[in-house]
Structure 1
């Protein structure tokens, strides 16, 4: 029977008496989550992934003994006792892992060496800010007062799809929201840049915009307060093993549930008969069939590539033909420069610092959208990111995808030269900040927005898809709640992932849960989920084989 079940993926009709088949396109966190929940609910699943690793943007790569962790900066749901943590527990994402928590969210330092530290503890933060600028006491106290109130709010709507929430679940949400309604409404309606401009101190005006490392532009106060409050409760920590470690753990959970995952399997198109998705065709020409298909890859590729643009509607058209071309609709792409160092990092240094750049520095940072550079001490986030006695820094900045994509397409040699400019800038900046750093550098690796697009297919190289709190956020929410993650006129098909559920790993994971809850109604299955029992301690061997990003690292001008 096992051989018969395995072979019926190539048959249009499933073998009588067997469970419904579900094909998932993409093994990012959303795709893996979809596969796990479908397996738990009694379906048979296959995931096809074009890359050789799981995770999508939640990934890492290696060079010369260093592990370059690309994605997680903080993970909502690392503390037990809330719905976000329950999702990760069901997916086995944190099995056997320790979690690193930091006392501060970020530090912001200007070009003159003056700095602001955004402690997660509101009392400590208030005292620090008042010492920096007593004249701004009213605004400082207003922010920390709101942060204290957010410490009392627990709102993680990640367990049940919006259209399927019971009266009891809706009532529970109301009990949480109503007492804090005015606070939530006010902080959601107040843009951070408007609030920050109230400060007299010029550093505070800039620093508040950069609590999230760089200014996402357009965000209101609410997400800053929510995430700092979560961090204060140790619910926004960094899991052992990092980004790829999280993806590998969910992959392990998926395979343990009986799912099948195939790498180097690029989906060319979704097969449709009589306005119903019936399977997929891979680039190698092979066809696989199922009773339901879930696309958990790039949204534009799904709608206009895999489906040829045949199934759209007002909301899809609004996103991809109107909002897509408006400035600020997509979350910015980033340039990443990883630095492998001999020796340890300064023990008292913040784990994450946004450096505000002066005009001269800003003019020499290729493709930069803002005058700042984020430097994170990544080897302090988790063990195993550097060889013994060595360290890793991760330097990032928002950058223009078009700049890098056109450069790589038009002139590959010039593209590599510009990457070396990034490496040279980072090397010089770190040396000026801490003399002697340049002589300790073992390796430098630069990844551009074009790199992100090449490995993940994400439109515009965006790491978080549509920008939260934009008009696109409202439209995407209706795709999940009203359209039930389906496209108009197409049966047997769902979408999952950040292009439909917005960015952030917990949101990506929850879209997999929601998609399965919806498709269970269609397939006549009972949605089921339970926590993983994996207890084996995490170890670096679970990462598996790590490919290199490029054949040659961007060490700097000595290699040019």
Structure 2
């Protein structure tokens, strides 16, 4: 029986592990943290549960290959309840509110009532959102292994998506917003996604929700990760938690196994690096082995930026329906990282009663952070006292702004946790604190990196960083592709 060692117990690593165990391989996962899941995780504070990852899970609609993969690895299943998102988000400006509903016709009506002068662009946007609902994550086999017929089938399955790309693929999120005359519509679009994102990403994200393909599995992020880990163990897989890997052992252009941080050597027939690719080629493997596509994206920081977040969790004494969903609003200026922001958001997790004690609720705020912001946090992180003081200071300012927007929360809300881009670097070795892959800007060509390491015959990559925009579906796909490559050699 061939042995496969998997470095990283996130979604990619566990997906590869489940599929390889099913195929008759002996696998072991080595995870640096106490729990599997990587960034798909959460934690408790003061009796509340803070969910770090899932705002919606692409692939919750049955019938797609991605949905079947989620079921196969245990993320979804007949016994897993699904919370259906009724709204994408809402944005408020100067007393007016615009909500992007699951029901896109309701959104269209609300937008037209708000801004009749934008009728042409509104109708076009909703029309193309409908087309974007056809977007799927190709997971049958790696792109570099696809033949002409495979590509033709993929193209036919996303015929409508090609029209979306033609119309919105060459403009960014700011240019999309400027197609509208009404300031609230502009603000809503700009505020939801970090600057630099291509416009089609907004339509795809919204289309995932309107197409009933972006809902939330019961228990949220950590519960999903633990279900996958349990499925992996049921097939005989072994997860070593709290176990860091020092390096991949290479001899004559072939990996012999890995060395742990404690010096132990683990032999293997194959090695899968299922972690941050920057970390992979800075520590686990010599940088000379980095694929050319990755080198290009890491080298061009302007065309392939990454984003992160400065986040705050609040405990609320009471349950308030008017806070349901994700709500964006203007606020007094606040300095966060290297930038000054004038708006913020609160997201409610009231759809998951177990996330808060009975009669209470939890809210979270996420301020988008750029690479310049990351450098700010990296600099002050060298002095932990200064770092913690700055986090607390910002959280207190943000709390005041939440209460100003929602006066009924006065005396009923307090901060229970704060985390910065440095948290993702510390916990997941994330490149510049990013929790997704590279942002493909309109000036850059999208690059999909094959999960092979040229020069080392038996090492494979399984990471969200191999294909934009990253995230959980990409991680699962890359895990499947790594398993597919190994199974082809059996």
Q: CA deviation at 1:486?
A: 1.3
Does residue 468 of structure 2 align to residue 496 of structure 1?
Answer: no
Does residue 101 of structure 2 align to residue 146 of structure 1?
Answer: no
Which residue of the partner structure matches residue 80 of structure 2?
97
Which residue of the partner structure matches residue 373 of structure 1?
344
Q: CA deviation at 1:216?
A: 2.2
Which residue of the partner structure matches residue 328 of structure 2?
354
- 5+ residue gaps, structure 1, are 1-18, 525-560
Which residue of the partner structure matches residue 35 of structure 2?
53
Which residue of the partner structure matches residue 205 of structure 1?
186
Q: CA deviation at 1:168?
A: 5.2
CA distance in 2 between partners of 1:35 and 1:494 (Å): 13
Asked whether the equivalents of residues 303 and 440 of structure 2 are also in contact (C-alpha less than 8 Å), the reply is no
Does residue 82 of structure 2 align to residue 116 of structure 1?
Answer: no
Does residue 419 of structure 2 align to residue 447 of structure 1?
Answer: yes
* Superposed CA offset, 1:98-145 (max 9, x none): 1111222111123x3322111232321111111111111111111112
Q: CA deviation at 1:64?
A: 1.6
* Superposed CA offset, 1:259-313 (max 9, x none): 0000111000100010111111001000101111000111111112111324235
The 1:284/1:179 distance shift into structure 2, 3 A limit, reads closer
- Aligned residue for 1:189, secondary structure, equals coil
Q: CA deviation at 1:364?
A: 4.0
The structure 2 residue matched to 1:336, chosen from 301, 307, 311, is 311
- 5+ residue gaps, structure 2, are none
Asked whether the equivalents of residues 194 and 368 of structure 2 are also in contact (C-alpha less than 8 Å), the reply is no
Asked whether the equivalents of residues 76 and 217 of structure 2 are also in contact (C-alpha less than 8 Å), the reply is yes
Q: TM-score, normalised by structure 1?
A: 0.82
Q: CA deviation at 1:436?
A: 4.2
Which residue of the partner structure matches residue 132 of structure 1?
114
The 1:45/1:337 distance shift into structure 2, 3 A limit, reads same
CA distance in 1 between partners of 2:237 and 2:281 (Å): 26
Task: Between 160-169 and 185-194, report the one with greater CA deviation.
Answer: 160-169
Q: CA deviation at 1:166?
A: 5.7
- Aligned residue for 1:439, secondary structure, equals coil
The structure 1 residue matched to 2:163, chosen from 168, 174, 182, is 182
CA distance in 2 between partners of 1:372 and 1:278 (Å): 52
CA distance in 2 between partners of 1:61 and 1:440 (Å): 22
Asked whether the equivalents of residues 341 and 443 of structure 1 are also in contact (C-alpha less than 8 Å), the reply is no
Task: Between 464-473 and 418-427, report the one with greater CA deviation.
Answer: 464-473
Which residue of the partner structure matches residue 8 of structure 1?
none
Q: CA deviation at 1:50?
A: 0.6
Task: Between 169-178 and 119-128, report the one with greater CA deviation.
Answer: 169-178
The equivalences for 1:253-264 within 5 A come to 253-264=231-242
- Aligned residue for 1:32, secondary structure, equals helix
The equivalences for 1:490-529 within 5 A come to 490-502=456-468, 503-522=470-489, 524=490
The 1:369/1:33 distance shift into structure 2, 3 A limit, reads farther
Larger Rg: 1 or 2?
Answer: 1
Q: TM-score, normalised by structure 2?
A: 0.94
Does residue 251 of structure 2 align to residue 269 of structure 1?
Answer: no
**How many residues get paired?**
485
CA distance in 2 between partners of 1:368 and 1:280 (Å): 42
CA distance in 2 between partners of 1:187 and 1:353 (Å): 25
Asked whether the equivalents of residues 339 and 441 of structure 1 are also in contact (C-alpha less than 8 Å), the reply is yes
Which residue of the partner structure matches residue 334 of structure 2?
363
Structure 1 runs of 4+ with >6 Å offset: 470-473
Asked whether the equivalents of residues 43 and 51 of structure 2 are also in contact (C-alpha less than 8 Å), the reply is yes
Q: CA deviation at 1:469?
A: 5.0
Asked whether the equivalents of residues 83 and 351 of structure 2 are also in contact (C-alpha less than 8 Å), the reply is yes
Q: CA deviation at 1:148?
A: 3.0
CA distance in 2 between partners of 1:363 and 1:262 (Å): 43
- Aligned residue for 2:357, secondary structure, equals coil
Root-mean-square deviation (CA), in Å? 2.0
CA distance in 2 between partners of 1:242 and 1:179 (Å): 31
CA distance in 2 between partners of 1:500 and 1:473 (Å): 14
- Aligned residue for 1:453, secondary structure, equals helix
Does residue 140 of structure 2 align to residue 162 of structure 1?
Answer: no
